[in-house]
Amino acid sequence: MNLTTALAMSIVLASAAGSKACDLTFKLHEGGGAPYGVRQIPEFVKDKIRPSLSKDTSYFHIVGINQCQDSADSVSLTLQKSNYYVLFLNDSIPLQVKGKNGYDYVAYKGGAYIGIDSARIVESFRTLSKVPSQAYLFHASKDSAQEKVIHDAVRTFAFVFAEASRFDYVLNGLACGLHKDSANQEHPVQFMDYWILLHNWSTINTVITDSAPQLMAHPTYHGSRKLFAPVTWPMVSYFDDYLVRHPTTDTTKDGKNKHIPIMDSCKTRP
């Protein structure tokens, strides 16, 4: 059964079940299992997405279904197993196309001032559920406002699924951002708080693999080359010190490897 058919069957079954309010859940297409609600995304990351990293260059698929009383919408995101890159939307629509009719919805391009909480995740889901085709993304790329809405939606899911899988810092921030305080309020995690850190996944992986493999957590999942997840707090501290000890070392080509600020939004560590 292909992904499109599976999505259609899931929506039919969900619609038949009925619901008094909209309920957005996520699961992996591969392997089945119970779906996870929005506030359970940190558990989904630890249980399902992190272990999907491997040296295999094929793909895995995250399926979201938003079940309302009389209807259901779906979104699928295709990620590469070897690096967690988000590559396709809704089964087969590429998020990056090069050339004359190209567009790019996966580049971070200087980051984005996005506050991520459950409302942002639902809003991003709704945005992506309305994308029917590659042509739609191409035409949207010619309208800066529409392009930004879609791009921010993709960034949101890249953050909550891919970056939270790569970094304990991000996973912790996400868990804090989705947690309601005593006043029943959420406090969105800020994408830009982690901007420098996100750019250093590959470089941190290389430094830890070559210089401090004893810091690797259990379990650690390995992707292509020296990529692994998760990057833990001690690894970030080690890498920060490494850059101080090796100021002339060209550890990356992107020019963003300097001091990495410690971003721990709710001051808790697992």
Among 72, 176, 173, CA closest to 129: 72
The whole-number pLDDT of residue 56 equals 92
The whole-number pLDDT of residue 111 equals 76
The whole-number pLDDT of residue 3 equals 55
Segment (H or E) for 136:
helix 134-140
Neighbours of 4 (CB within 10 A): 13
The whole-number pLDDT of residue 242 equals 87
The whole-number pLDDT of residue 109 equals 74
Q: What is the pTM of this model?
A: 0.87
Q: How many H-runs (helices) and E-runs (strands) does the chain carry?
A: 10, 12
- In the numeric block, the tokens 């279904």 are attached to 65
The answer to whether the CB of 22 falls within 8 A of the CB of 68 is yes
The whole-number pLDDT of residue 270 equals 42
Beta-carbon contacts of 170 under 8 Å, excluding residues fewer than 6 positions away, are: 159, 163, 164, 189, 194, 197, 198
Q: What are the mean pLDDT values of the chain's consecutive 10-residue runs (270 residues total)?
A: 52 44 93 91 97 95 95 96 97 94 88 91 97 97 96 97 96 89 82 88 93 94 96 92 75 59 55
The whole-number pLDDT of residue 11 equals 45
